[in-house]
Structure 1
């Protein structure tokens, strides 16, 4: 069963999912701490290049099925024009100021 984005527990993660699903690049970027990093399937990636390719130019969309660790770990069905839909896991590290300093994703 899908969790509606508005019901996600962590405010930063909720805003991240909403920005992805509404294709709001500016809003998405404002959620990230300076120097934020990310990894995909265990390998660190260039953040700007990855989000352009995997989210914004390919119309990424997250349907969250499960959350844990106070809403900072998600299991989601993620789809985009490049890869179709896949079951993914997401892990977020959120700073005290509420911005995301790192996220990790990969197939679940």
Structure 2
């Protein structure tokens, strides 16, 4: 059963999923620390390149099936125009100011 973004536990993760699904790059970037990092399938990636390619230029969309670790870990069906749909895991490291300093994703 899908968890609607508005029902996700952590407000920053909730806003992250909403920004992805609404293709709102400005809202997405506002959630990240200036020095934010990310990894895909265990490999660190260039953040700007990755989000443009995997989310914003390819119509990325997340449907969350499960959350854990206080909302900082998600199991989701992620799809975009490049890869189609796949089952993915997401983990978020949120700082004390409520901004994401790192996120990791990969196939689940």
TM (normalized to structure 1)? 1.00
Query: What aligned pairs does 1:74-85 form with structure 2 within 5 A after superposition?
Result: 74-85=74-85
- Take 1:11 and 1:84, find their aligned partners in 2: how far apart are those partners? 27
Number of the residue aligned with 1:46: 46
Structure 1 vs Structure 2 CA RMSD: 0.2
Could you state the TM-score of these two structures normalised by the residue count of structure 2?
A: 1.00
Query: Displacement of 1:73 after TM fit?
Result: 0.1
Aligned residues: 108
Residue number in structure 1 paired with 2:103: 103
Alpha-carbon separation, structure 1, partners of 2:57 and 2:107: 20
- In the other structure, the counterpart of 2:59 is 59
Gaps of 5+ in 1: none
Aligned to 2:7: 7
Structure 1: 4+ residue segments shifted above 4 A? none
What residue ranges of structure 2 are gaps of 5+ in the alignment?
none
